[in-house]
Amino acid sequence: MIFNTFSYYFLFLTPAAVLYRVLPSWLRPWVIVAFGSGFFLYFAYDMAGVWGAACLLIFLWESAVSRLYQPASRWCLLGLVQSVILLGIFKYWNFFTGLVFLHVPNPLRWQSQFLPLGISFFTFEFYHYAWDRREGKTEAGTLGEYLAFILFFPTMVAGPIKRYQDFLPKLRAGHNVSSQDWERGTTRILSGLVKKFAIADLLTAWTDHLNVHDILVADQRVLPFWALAYGIKIYADFSGYSDIAIGSARLFGIKVPENFDWPYGRRNIQRFWQCWHISLTRWLTDYVYIPLGGSRVSPPRIYANVIAVMLVSGLWHGAGLNYLVWGLWHGILLAIHRFWRQLRPEPNNHPAVVFLSRVVTFVLVNAAWPFFCMDLHSASVFYRRLLFG
C-alpha cells in the first residue's frame, strides 16, 4: 500500500517536508535520515513484522561499510558482493534451491521467507555506490549525506533508482525549497493518485480474471482484452507510483530521475525500453550491459549480452520461471531489432510505416504481460487458449 495510505502523507511526508523546508541546511540530511528510518520501521513492521523492521540494520551496516570505500579498493568489492548476496538470500533462496531439488521436497526451503521492504531497489543503490566509488566516479560524501541518500523514503521502496552523484548536489544546494516545488510536487502526487485509483484499480475487475480457472471457462475472444487491461493497469499503477515518488521528492526540492516517457507510443522495442522504467534500464545498462562488453564486442556477443541483460531484468522482477521467460521474450525482441538495424541502419520514416511500427511494438509488449502476471503454467494455459481455443 504505502503511497495510498493516510499514514504516508500525515505521519511522514508532510511533517518531514515541512521540517526540511524550515530547518537550516546542515540539519536537512538528518531530517531525511530520521523520517526515513521511521518510515522503514513503520511500513516494514506492517508488512513483515519484527524481522521486517529489523532489516533497518541492513542500512546501518551498509552505511558503516561504505565509509571504507575508496577508488580501486577491495572494500568496494565487498560492498558489491554483500549487496548481491543480500538480494540473493532474501529474494532467490527458495527459487534456486527449489531448482536444485526439482522433483523432491526442498529440504533447504526457508519456510518463513520474507522480503525486506524495497530490497530490490535499495540493493541496486548500494551496488551503484560501491561500483562508482571503486571507479572514482563519485565522492564519498559524509555519513549523514550517504544515509540520507539510502534512506530517502519517497524513492526507497520502488524507485526511481537514484544515483548518488545526482542526488548529492541537490541535497547540498543551500537554496530554500520554493513554492513552485511544492505546487508542482503536489500536482504530481495528485496525478499519480488519479492514475492509481481511477485507472489501475478500476482495471482490476478485468485483470483479476487472469487465473487458470477463469481462462479455461472464458470466451476465447475476451482473452486479448484481459492481457491488454493488464498492460494498461501496470503502466497506470507503476507510472502513478513513480509520479507520487517524484512529486514527494519535489516537496524536498529534490528532482529525482523520471521513470516513464510515453512508452506505449514508441516505434520499436529499443525505444520502448528507453522510455519504460527508465531508471532500471539505465542501471542495467551501466552495471550489467557495459561490464559484459556492451556494444564494443562482436555482433553475436552483443545479441547474447542483450538477452543476458533482459534475463537479469526478468529475474530481478521476480523469482520465478515466468519472469525469466518474460525477460527472454524482450531480450529476443531487442536482439532481433538490433539485427534489423544492422541490415537497415536508416529507419523508414513513411507515416504509414511509423504508425504500423508503433502498433506492432505495442502489441508485442502487451503480448508478453501474461508471463509477467501469472506463473508459467497459468501463462501457458492462457496462450494455448488464446491461440488454439
Partner 1 sequence: MLTTFRATVEYLAGERDDAPSFLTGRGEWVVRCLVWMAAILLIYAFCGQSSKFIYIDF
- Between 187 and 295, CB nearer to partner 1: 187
- Between 123 and 138, CB nearer to partner 1: 123
Closest approach, Cβ 301 to partner 1, in A, equals 30
Contact flag: residue 198 with partner 1 (CB under 8 A): yes
Map residue 103 onto helix, strand or coil. coil
Distance CA 332, CA 213 (A): 30
Which one is catalytic: 103, 209, 213, 317? 317
- Between 3 and 146, CB nearer to partner 1: 3
Contact flag: residue 121 with partner 1 (CB under 8 A): yes
Distance CA 18, CA 38 (A): 16
DSSP state of 139: -
Among 21, 170, 282, 317, binds partner 1 (CB under 8 A): 317
Contacts 24+ apart (CB under 8 A), 338-344: 338/270, 338/302, 338/303, 338/306, 339/299, 339/303, 342/299
What is the CB neighbour count within 10 angstroms for residue 332? 15
- Between 1 and 104, CB nearer to partner 1: 1
Of 92-100, 147-155, 187-195, 332-340, the segment contacting partner 1 by CB under 8 A is 187-195
Closest approach, Cβ 345 to partner 1, in A, equals 26
Active site residue 337: no
Closest approach, Cβ 365 to partner 1, in A, equals 16
- Between 139 and 183, CB nearer to partner 1: 183
Contact flag: residue 190 with partner 1 (CB under 8 A): yes
DSSP state of 115: P
Map residue 315 onto helix, strand or coil. helix
Among 31, 189, 312, 324, binds partner 1 (CB under 8 A): 189
Distance CA 128, CA 20 (A): 26
Map residue 2 onto helix, strand or coil. coil
Distances (CA, A) of 388 to 94, 249, 382, 385: 34, 48, 10, 5
Binding site for partner 1 (CB under 8 A): 1-4, 115, 120-121, 157-159, 180, 183-191, 193-194, 196-198, 201-202, 204, 233-234, 237-238, 240-241, 243, 247, 258, 262, 316-318
Q: Among all residues, which ones are annotated catalytic?
A: 317
